[in-house]
Structure 1
Amino acid sequence: MKKRSFFIGLIVLGGMTGACSNNTKTEESNPIMEVADDPETVKANEKALKELEEQQRLEAASSTSMKIDKEVHDFGKIMTGSENQCTFTVTNTGDKPLILSDVKASCGCTTPSKPEGPIAPGKSDKIEVGFKPNGPGASEKTITITANTNPRITVVKVKADVQ
Structure 2
Amino acid sequence: MRKIVIALNVLMVVVLMSCKEDATSKINNSNLEAAGQRDAAAKMLPVMSFENVEHDFGSIVQNTPQETVFKFTNTGDAPLIITDAKSTCGCTVPQYPKGAIAPGESGELVVNFNGSGSNLVTKVVTVSANTEKGSEQLRIKAFVTPKDGASVGPLKQS
TM-score class, shorter: 0.5 to 0.7
Q: How many pairs were matched up?
A: 104
Q: Determine if the alignment matches structure 1 residue 113 to structure 2 residue 80.
A: no
Q: Determine if the alignment matches structure 1 residue 91 to structure 2 residue 73.
A: yes
In 2, the alpha carbon distance for the partners of 1:133 and 1:82 equals 5
Deviations 1:19-46 (A, max 9, x none): xxxxxxxxxxxxxxxxxxxxxxxxxxxx
Unpaired runs of at least 5, structure 2: 1-41, 146-158
Look up the equivalent residue of 1:115 and give its one-letter code. Answer: P
> What aligned pairs does 1:68-83 form with structure 2 within 5 A after superposition?
68-83=50-65
Q: 2:110 aligns with which of 122, 128, 139?
A: 128
Larger radius of gyration: 2
In 1, the alpha carbon distance for the partners of 2:85 and 2:78 equals 20
Sequence identity percentage: 40
In 2, the alpha carbon distance for the partners of 1:71 and 1:128 equals 12
User: What's the CA shift for 1:69?
Assistant: 1.0
In 2, the alpha carbon distance for the partners of 1:63 and 1:95 equals 5
> What aligned pairs does 1:5-84 form with structure 2 within 5 A after superposition?
63-84=45-66
Runs of at least 4 residues of structure 1 off by over 2 A?
Answer: none
CA RMSD of aligned residues (A): 1.6
In 2, the alpha carbon distance for the partners of 1:144 and 1:129 equals 11
Look up the equivalent residue of 1:143 and give its one-letter code. Answer: V
In 1, the alpha carbon distance for the partners of 2:104 and 2:61 equals 38
Find the residue that maps to 1:117 and give its secondary structure: coil
Unpaired runs of at least 5, structure 1: 1-59
Deviations 1:65-107 (A, max 9, x none): 1101111100000011001000001210012100011111111
User: What's the CA shift for 1:133?
Assistant: 2.3
In 2, the alpha carbon distance for the partners of 1:64 and 1:95 equals 5
* TM-score calculated relative to the size of structure 1: 0.61
**Which structure features the higher share of helix residues?**
1
